[in-house]
Amino acid sequence: MKREKLLESLRLSPGRKVNLARDFDPAFTGTFEDKEAASGLLQEGIDSLSELQTRLYAEDRQALLIVIQAMDAAGKDGVIKHVMSGLNPQGTQVHSFRPPSEEDLGHDFLWRSACRLPERGHIGIFNRSYYEEVLVVRVHPELLEPQKLPPGRRDDAFWQRRFDAINQFERHLVNHGTRLVKLFLHVSRDVQKQRLLERIHEPDKHWKFSLADIRERDYWPQYTAAYEAMLQHTGTEWAPWYLVPADHKWFTRLAVARILIQQLTEMDPHYPRMSEAEQQMLAAAKAHLESD
């Protein structure tokens, strides 16, 4: 499958009604049969990302925000570790969003994310994000109580207002030079179970294990419904979602690398051109060094 066709198959059309179980195969790998078939392409992708990031940083006029959402054990950390391995830390910012602090709860639900947006020339990576406010909070509505919200019903209209606020927030970012790449890593329930068991059986993965992940598995149908609503109502022309199959980590990483390369290529960052005065200064500096 050609790169353009592969990426188009992963990009959700804005407003599309999503049925994860029926319409999307989390084990999909395109025309690639195994990890070995894709490993060389992944390294090429990492090298391309490094060059594009350098141009973005030098240009200092645009920013890229990568939002990664997924069920537990879908491979978010692995994507960041492997796909972003060639990026210069000087121009990269990674934020993992934990439960909100007291200060966070004193503001609207988008505030803490707005405080961590990438500056111009930088790539920002959100490992989870403001989307948790229409996912985990929707599955566990009791989490709304500490948010000091005005009185009112927490019905479908309430969640639609949150979707609308997110869409407006993202449109504002895009209009001011920040491109968004939103990735939903789609893992199956069976593969999630295997990966959680690995965290129990393998000592070097014990640090990844959390009882909370096991408890949240019991809410799989509710999370599926919340994700389907999120994908339908927050996929827009200016900030579409990419639904990336996540049962095979090697394919997930390759697909994400290709998506990012496409997005950065479309951004088309350029090295700054020197003004005539700067060129004259450069020529003088060259002459001075050569005469030394």
2 band by pLDDT with thresholds 50, 70 and 90: low
Q: Which two tokens stand for residue 140?
A: 């566990």
Does residue 31 surpass a pLDDT of 70?
A: yes
DSSP assignments along 64-104, one per residue: EEEEEEESTTSSHHHHHHHHTTTS-GGGEEEEE--S--HHH
Q: According to the model, what pLDDT value does residue 30 have?
A: 85
Q: CA–CA separation, 261 vs 271, rounded Å? A: 17
Q: CA–CA separation, 180 vs 187, rounded Å? A: 22
Does residue 1 surpass a pLDDT of 80?
A: no
**In this predicted model, what pLDDT tens digit does every residue of 132-176 receive, in sequence order?**
999 999 999 999 999 999 999 999 999 999 999 999 999 999 999
CB-CB neighbours of 32 under 10 Å:
18
CA dihedral 236, 121, 261, 4 (to 10 degrees): 40
Higher pLDDT, 41 or 143: 143
DSSP assignments along 142-162, one per residue: GGGGGG-PPS---SHHHHHHH
**In this predicted model, what pLDDT tens digit does every residue of 164-208 receive, in sequence order?**
999 999 999 999 999 999 999 999 999 999 999 999 999 999 998
HSE-up of 84 (CA within 13 Å, CB side)? 20
Q: According to the model, what pLDDT value does residue 276 have?
A: 86
**In this predicted model, what pLDDT tens digit does every residue of 270-285 receive, in sequence order?**
998 888 898 889 899 9
Does residue 67 surpass a pLDDT of 80?
A: yes
**In this predicted model, what pLDDT tens digit does every residue of 88-129 receive, in sequence order?**
999 999 999 989 999 999 999 999 999 999 999 999 999 999
**In this predicted model, what pLDDT tens digit does every residue of 225-258 receive, in sequence order?**
999 999 999 999 999 999 999 999 999 999 999 9
